[in-house]
């Protein structure tokens, strides 16, 4: 099997555009897609066991929501259109986790959406996409 296209996906409009672009490439070149959602997790601000339990509960709920409501429906659509797809939800800092997964998977490329709404942010890529372009071990496509 060919190395996949890695698509970090959070359900945002930017992520949807990136997935649409990646889907076209995957279909044309018969390449699988690996959908990845990253749930940031931090103990920062947790001051007692009750807060820790609450934070862990919220983290578990975020993972389940991303897997079941965001990634799974997209994966079903891709499979229905004949594209092989894997999905994963990983905890950690977004950019570092994407890079870690890229090192492990050795995808052909990473496809991300560019964020931005303000005049200034339209001139710049989002921090995650910018960091990936600069540090990823494989080519990165930033879809506007």
Can you state the percent helix, strand and coil of the chain, rounding each to 5? 50, 20, 30
Which pLDDT value is given to residue 117? 43
Which structural domains are found in the chain, ordered by start? Answer: 5-143 (3.40.50.620)
State the pTM of this model: 0.87
Query: Contact 131/95 with Cβ under 8 angstroms?
Result: yes
Which pLDDT value is given to residue 123? 46
In degrees, to the nearest 5, what angle opens at C-alpha 138 toward C-alphas 99 and 143? 85
For the chain, the average pLDDT equals: 88
- 41 vs 9, residue with greater confidence: 9
Which pLDDT band holds residue 95 (cuts at 50, 70, 90)? Answer: very high
């Amino acid at each position: 099997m060919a190395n996949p296209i890695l698509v970090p996906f959070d359900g945002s409009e930017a992520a949807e555009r990136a997935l649409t672009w990646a889907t076209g490439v995957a279909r044309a070149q018969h390449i699988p897609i690996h959908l990845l959602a990253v749930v940031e997790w931090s103990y920062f601000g947790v001051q007692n066991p009750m807060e820790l339990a609450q934070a862990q509960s919220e983290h578990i709920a975020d993972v389940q929501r991303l897997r079941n409501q965001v990634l799974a429906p997209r994966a079903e659509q891709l499979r229905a259109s004949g594209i092989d797809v894997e999905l994963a939800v990983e905890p950690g800092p977004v950019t570092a986790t994407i890079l870690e997964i890229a090192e492990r998977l050795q995808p052909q490329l990473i496809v991300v959406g560019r964020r931005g709404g303000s005049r200034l942010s339209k001139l710049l890529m989002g921090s995650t996409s910018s960091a990936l372009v600069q540090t990823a071990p494989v080519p990165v496509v930033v879809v506007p």
